[in-house]
Amino acid sequence: MKRLQTVIVSPALADANNGNWQTAHRWQQMLSHKHRARVVRAWPDAQAGGDDVMLALHALKSADAVQAWHSQVGSQGLGVVLTGTDLYRDLAQSPQAQTSVAVAGRLVSLQSRAIEALPADMRHKAVVIYQSTPTRQTLPKTTRHLRAVMVGHLRDEKDPLTLMAAARHLVGDAGILIDHVGEPLVAQLGAAAQATAQVCPGYRWLGGQPHTATLKRIQRAHVLVHTSRMEGGAHVLMEAICSGTPVLASRMPGNVGMLGADYAGYFEVGDSAGLATLLRLCQNPHGSPLMQQLRHQCAARAPLFAPRNEQRALERLVEELGNH
């Protein structure tokens, strides 16, 4: 089989340390076993002449690269990877995002519910590739209190204000501690985190943290909290599930597509009181019926996120795109 060269277009590179970069970097490594792959922010560049396949992360933010490829090559070899903001905001209002979807040879979604957000006449081009993460050891967890962690840069799509409001509901409950990891991409949200920490002894905003240190926090936490308003398929959910840490998540399509429709750990989007109630129900990690149910459900989902499954699906996609 021909060794194909794939260019992965990502709006973020290593300096951003966000989900787009982590996906791009992981895919580059996975494809390198059989093919060649490189990651760029803009295309075409000096190496463009050798590219057989383009995988563009983000229909809107990578629209210029998608259009450049289509104008030179057509739809052949062109895959567009749909993010949460693509699916649940931009496709409804952005002509650039709509064009990216229209000209792509294949559309890639990162969770099963994403296809429902596509126009009906585009769904035949869609394929689901679950992202993956290695299985990690479940680290010892304290028995003195419930430790929750939320991981995500502070921006509106992640809805960190719901976590902060839940922390305020829990003031006076010394048995629940919340660690919040993420850079303040919106200054007002950073200020809100600081203000919350001043009045909520159980809430700590830790700012940005290295990925390795963040993984350790996830491994040691009893639950991961994920409050997003929109999401294409959050990598941090997999990192928690494959570390033996159950998840409390907002009931929105990107989370439901990862966790399953019958998952017991949902609260409604923006429902801080509902999140606080779930945290209280988890407060006795070893004796809580809810915690036992969440652990069981997360263990059942974990095989979906095995690296070998993602690698095989990614290789099939690239070979299909590159050989037509």
Q: Three-state SS string across 50-112, please?
A: HCCEEEEECCCCCHHHHHHHHHHCCCCCEEEECCHHHHHHHHHHCHHHHHHHHHCCEEEECCH
Q: How confident is the model at residue 271 (pLDDT cuts 50, 70, 90)?
A: very high
Instruction: Select from 3.90.1150.10, 3.60.15.10, 3.40.50.620, 3.40.50.2000 the CATH code of 5-132+306-322.
Output: 3.40.50.2000
* Cβ atoms of residues 288 and 281 within 8 Å: yes
Strands of the 223-226 sheet, one edge to the other: 203-207, 176-181, 146-151, 223-226, 247-250, 266-267
| pLDDT value of position 17 | 65
Q: CA distances (Å), 219 to each of 193, 214, 291, in order?
A: 23, 9, 15
Read off the pLDDT of residues 143-177 as tens digits, 9 standing for 90 and up.
Answer: 889 999 999 999 999 999 999 999 999 998 889 99
Angle at alpha carbon of residue 285, lines to 282 and 290, rounded to 5°: 45
Q: How far apart are CA 86 and CA 60, in angstroms?
A: 7
Q: In which residue are the tokens 């809805």 written?
A: 159
Q: How confident is the model at residue 16 (pLDDT cuts 50, 70, 90)?
A: low
Q: Is the peptide bond before 246 cis (omega within 30 degrees of 0)?
A: no
Q: How far apart are CA 30 and CA 11, in angstroms?
A: 20
Whether residue 268 has pLDDT greater than 90: yes
Domain 146-304 in CATH 3.40.50.2000:
yes
Helix, strand, coil percent values for the chain (each to nearest 5): 45, 15, 35
Q: What is the mean pLDDT of residues 208-232?
A: 94
Is the dihedral angle over the CA atoms 300, 306, 309, 310 positive or is it negative? positive
Residues 6+ apart with CB under 8 A from 284: 146, 291
Q: CA distances (Å), 165 to each of 7, 94, 177, 246, 271, in order?
A: 42, 32, 14, 21, 9
Q: Which has the closest alpha carbon to 108: 323, 321, 267, 282?
A: 321
More confident residue, 10 or 323: 10
Q: In which residue are the tokens 């509901």 written?
A: 169
| pLDDT value of position 227 | 98
Q: What is the mean pLDDT of the chain?
A: 94
Read off the pLDDT of residues 26-80 as tens digits, 9 standing for 90 and up.
Answer: 999 999 999 999 999 999 999 999 999 999 999 999 999 999 999 999 999 999 9
Phi, psi of 161 (to 5 degrees): -65, -30
Question: CATH 3.40.50.2000 residue ranges in the chain?
Answer: 5-132+306-322, 146-304
Q: How confident is the model at residue 2 (pLDDT cuts 50, 70, 90)?
A: confident
Q: How far apart are CA 224 and CA 222, in angstroms?
A: 7
Q: How far apart are CA 87 and CA 90, in angstroms?
A: 7
* Cβ atoms of residues 242 and 135 within 8 Å: yes
Q: Is 141 exposed, middle or buried (0-12, 13-18, 19+ CB in 10 A)?
A: middle
Q: How far apart are CA 106 and CA 109, in angstroms?
A: 10
Q: CA distances (Å), 293 to each of 11, 197, 256, 258, 288, in order?
A: 38, 31, 16, 17, 9
| pLDDT value of position 94 | 95
| pLDDT value of position 4 | 96
Q: What is the mean pLDDT of residues 124-130?
A: 95
Q: How confident is the model at residue 123 (pLDDT cuts 50, 70, 90)?
A: very high
| pLDDT value of position 234 | 87
Q: How far apart are CA 283 and CA 205, in angstroms?
A: 20
